[in-house]
Amino acid sequence: MKTYDKVLSQLTTLNLKGITKKLDEAVNEAERGQFSYISFIDYLLQAELNFRIERRLQRNMTGAHFPVQKKIEDFEFGLIKGVSKMDISQVLEFNWIDKHENMLFFGPPGLGKTHLAISIGIKAVEKGYVVSFERMTALIKLLKTSDIQRSASFRLNRIIKSDLIIIDEIGYSPIERKEANLFFNLVSELYEKKSIIITSNKNFSEWAEMMGDEIMTTALLDRLLHHSKIFNLDGVSYRIKKIKKKEVK
CATH number at residue 123: 3.40.50.300
CB 171 within 8 A of CB 202: yes
Q: Are residues 136 and 24 in the same domain?
A: no
- Tally of residues, the chain: 249
Residue 188: how many other CB atoms lie within 10 Å:
11
Q: Are residues 214 and 97 in the same domain?
A: yes
Q: Are residues 133 and 39 in the same domain?
A: no
Tell me if 195 is assigned to some domain: yes
Q: Are residues 125 and 234 in the same domain?
A: yes
Which range of residues forms the domain containing residue 30? 3-59
Number of folded domains in the chain? Answer: 2
Tell me if 14 is assigned to some domain: yes
Report how far residue 133's alpha carbon sits from residue 167's, in angstroms, rounded to the nearest whole number: 6
Planar angle of CA 89, 65, 76, nearest 5 degrees: 35
Tell me if 64 is assigned to some domain: no
For the segment 145-204, what is each residue's pLDDT rounded down to a tens digit? 999 999 999 999 999 999 999 999 999 988 999 999 999 999 999 999 999 999 999 998
Report how far residue 18's alpha carbon sits from residue 144's, in angstroms, rounded to the nearest whole number: 42
Q: Are residues 84 and 160 in the same domain?
A: yes
SS3 breakdown of the chain: % helix, strand, coil, rounded to 5? 60, 10, 25
For the segment 149-162, what is each residue's pLDDT rounded down to a tens digit? 999 999 999 999 99
Tell me if 248 is assigned to some domain: no
Tell me if 67 is assigned to some domain: no
pLDDT of residue 243: 61
Q: Are residues 226 and 152 in the same domain?
A: yes
Q: Identify the segments of the chain with pLDDT beneath 50.
A: none
CB 235 within 8 A of CB 111: yes
